């Protein structure tokens, strides 16, 4: 059962990556009025804007990833606790 929980945690982490990308895109567009830069696009943005985008992206991603890890650890602790109570 524990490998299944770990796989679900991995899936949640991947999902968190997609969610964080969408959150950053929405925040960027509402703040700047421009679409968020994407890889491979020819974007006329200043160096400062590129740095700010990178910092915001990394921050949002780190916060969401840590929240997912915390939730995963909580589920694993609950699962392990219930297994010891049954045994």
pLDDT tens string, the chain, 87 residues long: the values are: 567 777 887 888 888 888 888 888 898 889 888 887 777 665 666 778 878 888 988 888 888 888 888 888 887 787 777 666 655
61: Cα separation from own chain's centroid: 4
For residues 39 and 1, give the distance between their C-alpha atoms in angstroms, rounded to a whole number: 39
Report the predicted TM-score, pTM, of the whole model to 2 decimal places: 0.65
In angstroms, rounded to a whole number, what is the distance separating the alpha carbons of residues 16 and 63? 10
Other C-beta atoms lying within 10 Å of the C-beta of residue 29: 12
C-alpha closest to that of 18 among 65, 53, 54: 65
40: left (phi over 0), alpha (psi -120 to 50) or beta: left
Domain coordinates in residue numbering, the chain: 2-86
């Amino acid at each position: 059962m524990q490998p299944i929980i770990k796989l679900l945690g991995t899936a949640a982490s991947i999902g968190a990556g997609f969610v964080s990308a969408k959150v950053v895109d929405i925040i960027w567009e509402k703040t700047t009025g421009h679409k968020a830069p994407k890889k491979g696009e020819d974007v006329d943005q200043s160096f400062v804007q590129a740095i700010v985008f990178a910092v915001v992206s990394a921050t949002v991603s780190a916060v969401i990833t840590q929240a997912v890890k915390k939730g995963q650890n909580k589920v694993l602790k609950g699962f392990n606790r219930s297994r010891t109570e049954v045994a």
